[in-house]
């Protein structure tokens, strides 16, 4: 059974890469014109799809890597760099612009019926950063109990994301532009530190091997 620190670090890493507060205004944007019931359906479906994708990588991440001949330490280093890049974007507010462009593309192509799958579930919830973090964490959560714990953490993060969707209008008004900016930057700094740790652990494992 993983210790408290491992569970907490995993929770923070996954939650930060999903970034539920940052998704609130985007959820409102891509569901523009929908009534409350339709938004509830979209939020529930997006959450389920996002959870399924991330749970798959949590349970079979190592197998997927092996199929491509990629070692876990190498992926840990690559994933760490990717997470650091995402953290850089968050600190300098570039990630939100990229997400908004993705949302705009979906709306202009009239993909309202598939909005839960794209862009909400993929790539906004289960994006490259969240998937990379999940695969990296799956390498340190060995055994059935540990894997179940990781899936449980993912479920908790997705549940929080779902709740943010339900309260999207209130959250967006509560945070405001200044609040979102401050929160995103703080989470970005935290993610940057975790990313450096991933790279350090990966390099250490590669040298030991």
pLDDT single digits (tens) 184-207: 788 778 878 878 888 898 899 889
- State residue 158 phi and psi, 5-degree precision: -65, -40
What is the chain's mean pLDDT, rounded?
Answer: 82
Span 61-107, pLDDT tens digits: 878 888 888 887 888 788 788 878 877 877 887 655 656 565 555 44
| Domain regions of the chain by residue span | 4-203
Q: What is the DSSP letter of 113?
A: G
- Residue from 19, 42, 54, 76 nearest 150 by CA: 54
143: left (phi over 0), alpha (psi -120 to 50) or beta: left
Span 96-155, pLDDT tens digits: 565 656 555 544 334 455 788 877 898 789 877 788 889 989 988 988 999 999 999 999
Is 195:83 a contact under the CB 8 Å cutoff?
yes
User: 103-109 — which CB contacts under 8 Å span 24+ positions?
Assistant: 103/26, 103/29, 103/30, 104/29, 106/30, 107/29, 107/30, 107/32
86: left (phi over 0), alpha (psi -120 to 50) or beta: alpha
pTM (2 d.p.): 0.72
């Amino acid at each position: 059974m993983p210790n408290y620190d491992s569970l907490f670090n995993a929770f923070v890493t996954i939650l930060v890469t999903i970034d539920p507060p940052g998704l609130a205004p985007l959820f409102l944007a891509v569901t523009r014109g929908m009534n409350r019931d339709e938004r509830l359906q979209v939020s529930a479906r997006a959450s389920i799809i996002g959870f399924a994708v991330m749970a798959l990588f949590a349970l079979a991440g190592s197998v997927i890597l092996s199929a491509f001949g990629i070692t876990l330490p190498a992926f840990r280093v690559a994933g760490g760099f990717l997470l650091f890049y995402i953290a850089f974007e968050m600190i300098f507010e570039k990630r939100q612009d990229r997400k908004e462009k993705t949302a705009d593309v979906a709306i202009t192509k009239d993909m309202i019926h598939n909005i839960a799958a794209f862009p909400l579930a993929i790539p906004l919830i289960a994006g490259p950063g969240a998937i990379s973090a999940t695969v990296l964490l799956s390498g340190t959560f060995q055994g059935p109990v540990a894997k179940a714990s990781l899936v449980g953490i993912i479920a908790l993060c997705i549940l929080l994301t779902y709740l943010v969707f339900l309260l999207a209008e209130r959250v967006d008004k509560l945070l405001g532009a200044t609040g979102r900016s401050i929160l995103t930057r703080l989470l970005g700094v935290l993610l940057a530190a975790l990313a450096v740790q991933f790279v350090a652990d990966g390099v250490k494992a590669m040298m030991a091997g």
